[in-house]
Structure 1
């Protein structure tokens, strides 16, 4: 027993970056906000830099002040989408971080 919530234990127990990417794409965004310190620590300790970049982009988007249209700035939204694309490739097993 680690004291972590079961959904966070899933991240702690995954064997590779592909599984971490899949977890990041499927976990409720509320979990990322609520447990951001623990998620950040787990991603950092696993040296999953692209996952950490995606996580930070999601947190920035979820925390951003929104304009009159209800959306975050274009910079925030584009950063989030580019990071998401990278994580989707890893989640499909198409690329491991740092590979050419």
Structure 2
């Protein structure tokens, strides 16, 4: 028996970066906040550097003091979007490669 939530176990059981990227894009942000240390450990062990960048950007955005407009500073928002794009490319690119091989 493990202390991980079933949704975090999905990340632990992921076989490749494609699956990890899909998981990161789909997991509720509350899980990222709650289990970010475990998620960081799993991504580090897998050598998924793009996923780590995305995780750190999400944590920074969720932790940032917001301005009068209710938004995090533009530097944090931009970093978050670039990190998200990197993970999206991995999530989509691998899927397209898999489709062409079938």
Q: Normalized against structure 1, the TM-score is what?
A: 0.91
Specify the structure having the higher radius of gyration (Cα).
Answer: 2
Q: What corresponds to 1:14 in structure 2?
A: 14
For the residues of structure 1 that align with 2:54 and 2:76, how far apart are their CA atoms?
Answer: 12
Partner SS for 2:24: helix
- Unmatched segments (≥5 aa) in structure 2: 96-102
Q: Which has the higher helix share?
A: 2
Corresponding pairs, count? 95
Asked if 1:69 is matched to 2:65, the reply is no
Deviating 4+ runs (over 2 angstroms): none
1:98 maps to what in 2? none
Show structure 1 runs of 5+ residues with no match. 96-100
Residues 1:4 and 2:18 aligned together:
no
- Length-normalised TM-score, structure 2: 0.90
**RMSD between aligned residues:** 1.2
Partners of 2:25 and 2:15 lie apart in 1 by 16
Q: Deviations over 1:72-100 (max 9, x none)?
A: 000000000000000000001359xxxxx
